[in-house]
């Protein structure tokens, strides 16, 4: 119980990292990366009307960022470990910021698609590097564990902000202005990083494992793309089977190559820790649960109830309030009860919230206060606890030279989870059934996590 022990050696009063400038800057980066992932969810119908895009085009546009982000994350982690966190952060942010500027000014759908891919590439280099710098800011294990509690909550908070602000911005001005948020954050961090962020050592003579990087990137991207296409094509169609089978073959090749590599991109021993594996499953599932809820409810409110984008964003305000409140409580709870217990409780609370949404939230004439609101309060409270506890467990006992790897694996779980779960749920047809199935998945992972010592 290394996590619990390290937390119990600190006082209950010190359950949050010092709000120093470096942590604030890195937190803004993490939130901005996840904000960008969800910033097109609510205004997507308006983008389709402006650019005359069909369902396939909108699906590709909404997932382009996540495809590039998820596919390159393991390589981004190796770059951070090889060349140092601050250098990787600077390089990734330069790409991310330039692509955000391009997205803000795009003349048409092809340019927007290219810009979204560019943002994803920059994000894949930035996210693991930010965690490597975070380790340098908090070198002591106990302080780093406390920092990871807050770090875990920043991701779901960024996703929530993306959904809320994008709806408000698109309703009051133009959806393009949503890209001004990551642009401003990128410019600010690039200016302040040399003064506020510590330099991090390079990883000596470590190789980049380019064969492994190519296999992992191509495999994850193709599998993710094939899953995304199940929204428009059947599972047995060539359009879905070709990328799925090719991607699966490449990932098998990646595992074989990593077993033989002298300095593998992803040491398989890194995932053999049962607690870490379940923590990564919890991160992926929590990201998937919140993303699924935002997508299904956004479509339900706008298409079935004829709500505007602004009304839809306002409906999620209690979600954000519950998320912030639970996030502030997560640190003291982990200090007192341990990360495993808080993660398990968070997963169980998510399952309950999703079950309530499935039973009452999607009914055609259910009132907001009695139908949607209870689930919209319980789900984010559980998500904040689950993310915070799982982030601590996923990085427990990670060596400093593998911090970038840990960041890449964590963010891969966070990005791949929604893709896999959404693709699986689309085959169920009913939104109610989809939310209920997700609730069952949460309950199952909570049960497994509770049984893990």
CATH number at residue 188: 1.20.1250.20
Instruction: For residue 151, give both structure tokens.
Output: 């770090």
- Within a domain: 1: no
Same domain, yes or no, for 95 and 239? no
Same domain, yes or no, for 303 and 442? yes
Same domain, yes or no, for 101 and 218? no
What is the SS3 assignment for the chain? CHHHHHHHCCCCCCCCCCCCHHHHHHHHHHHHHHHHHHCCCCCHHHHHHHHCCCHHHHHHHHHHHHHHHHHHHHHHHHHHHHHCHHHHHHHHHHHHHHHHHHHHCCCCHHHHHHHHHHHHHHHHHHHHHHHHHHHHHCCCHHHHHHHHHHHHHHHHHHHHHHHHHHHHHHHHCCHHHHHHHHHHHHHHHHHHHHHHCCCCCCCCCCCCCHHHHHHHHHHHHHHHHHHHHCCCCCCCCHHHHHHHHHHHHHHHHHHHHHHHCCCCCCCHHHHCCHHHHHHHHHHHHHHHHHHHHHHHHHHHHHHHCCCCHHHHHHHCHHHHHHHHHHHHHHHHHHHHHCHHHHHHHHHHHHHHHHHHHHHHHCCCCCCHHHHHHHHHHHHHHHHHHHHHHHHHHHCCCCCHHHHHHHHHHHHHHHHHHHHHHHHHHHCCCCHHHHHHHHHHHHHHHHHHHHCCC
Same domain, yes or no, for 437 and 373? yes
- Within a domain: 181: yes
- Within a domain: 8: no
Query: What's the total number of domains in the chain?
Result: 2
Same domain, yes or no, for 289 and 175? yes
- Within a domain: 175: yes
Same domain, yes or no, for 279 and 418? yes
Choose the final residue of a domain: 264, 295, 310.
264
Same domain, yes or no, for 129 and 176? yes
Same domain, yes or no, for 134 and 101? yes
- Within a domain: 205: no
Same domain, yes or no, for 259 and 272? no
Q: Show pLDDT as tens, one digit a residue, over the chain (453 residues).
A: 344 433 333 333 334 334 488 899 999 999 999 899 888 877 887 888 888 887 667 777 878 888 888 888 888 888 888 887 888 899 999 999 999 999 999 889 999 999 999 999 999 999 999 988 998 888 887 788 888 888 877 877 888 888 788 878 888 888 899 999 999 999 999 999 988 888 877 665 567 778 888 898 899 888 888 887 877 788 889 988 999 999 999 999 998 988 888 888 888 777 777 888 889 999 989 988 888 888 788 778 877 888 887 888 888 889 989 988 998 898 899 989 999 999 999 999 999 999 999 888 777 778 888 888 999 999 999 999 998 899 888 888 777 777 778 888 888 888 777 777 766 776 666 778 888 888 888 999 898 888 775
User: Angle at which helices 403-426 and 431-450 pack, to 10 degrees?
Assistant: 140
- Within a domain: 7: no
Same domain, yes or no, for 119 and 249? no
Residues of the domain holding 214:
210-264
Same domain, yes or no, for 117 and 232? no
- Within a domain: 418: yes
């Amino acid at each position: 119980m290394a996590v619990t022990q390290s937390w119990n050696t600190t006082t209950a009063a010190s359950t949050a990292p010092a709000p120093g400038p470096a942590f604030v800057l890195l937190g803004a980066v993490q939130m901005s990366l996840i904000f960008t992932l969800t910033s097109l969810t609510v205004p997507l119908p308006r983008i389709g009307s402006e650019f005359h895009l069909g369902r396939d085009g909108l699906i590709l546009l909404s997932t382009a960022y996540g495809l590039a982000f998820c596919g390159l994350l393991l390589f981004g982690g190796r770059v951070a470990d090889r060349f140092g966190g601050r250098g990787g952060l600077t390089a990734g942010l330069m790409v991310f910021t330039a692509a955000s500027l391009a997205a803000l000014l795009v003349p048409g759908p092809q340019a927007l698609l290219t810009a979204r891919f560019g943002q994803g590439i920059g994000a894949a280099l930035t996210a693991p590097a930010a965690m490597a710098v975070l380790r340098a800011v908090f070198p002591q294990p106990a302080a780093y564990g406390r920092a990871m509690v807050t770090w875990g909550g920043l991701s779901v908070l960024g996703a929530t902000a993306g959904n809320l602000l994008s709806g408000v911005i698109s309703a009051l001005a133009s959806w393009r202005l949503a890209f001004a948020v990551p642009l401003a954050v990128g410019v600010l961090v690039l200016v302040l990083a040399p003064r506020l962020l510590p330099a991090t050592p390079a990883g000596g003579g470590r190789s980049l494992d380019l064969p492994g990087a190519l296999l992992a990137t191509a495999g994850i991207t193709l599998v993710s793309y094939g899953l995304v296409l199940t929204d428009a094509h059947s599972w047995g169609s060539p359009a879905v089977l070709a990328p799925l089978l090719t991607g699966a073959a490449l990932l098998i090749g990646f595992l074989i190559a990593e077993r033989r590599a002298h300095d593998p991109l992803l040491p398989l021993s890194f995932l053999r820790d049962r607690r870490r594996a379940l923590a990564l499953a919890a991160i992926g599932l929590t990201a998937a649960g919140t993303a699924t809820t935002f997508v299904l409810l956004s479509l339900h409110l706008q298409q079935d109830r004829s709500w505007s984008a602004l009304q839809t964003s306002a409906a999620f305000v209690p979600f954000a309030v519950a998320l912030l409140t639970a996030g502030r409580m997560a640190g003291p709870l982990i200090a007192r009860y341990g990360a495993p217990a808080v993660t398990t409780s968070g997963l169980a609370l998510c399952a309950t919230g999703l079950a309530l949404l499935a039973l009452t939230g999607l009914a055609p004439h259910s009132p907001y206060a009695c139908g949607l609101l209870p689930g919209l309060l319980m789900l984010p409270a559980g998500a904040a606890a689950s993310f915070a506890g799982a982030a601590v467990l996923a990085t427990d006992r990670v060596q400093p030279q593998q911090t970038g790897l840990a960041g890449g694996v964590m963010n891969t779980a966070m990005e791949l989870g929604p893709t896999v779960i959404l693709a699986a749920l689309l085959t169920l047809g009913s939104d109610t059934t989809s939310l209920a199935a997700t609730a069952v998945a949460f309950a199952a992972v909570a049960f497994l996590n509770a049984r893990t010592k």
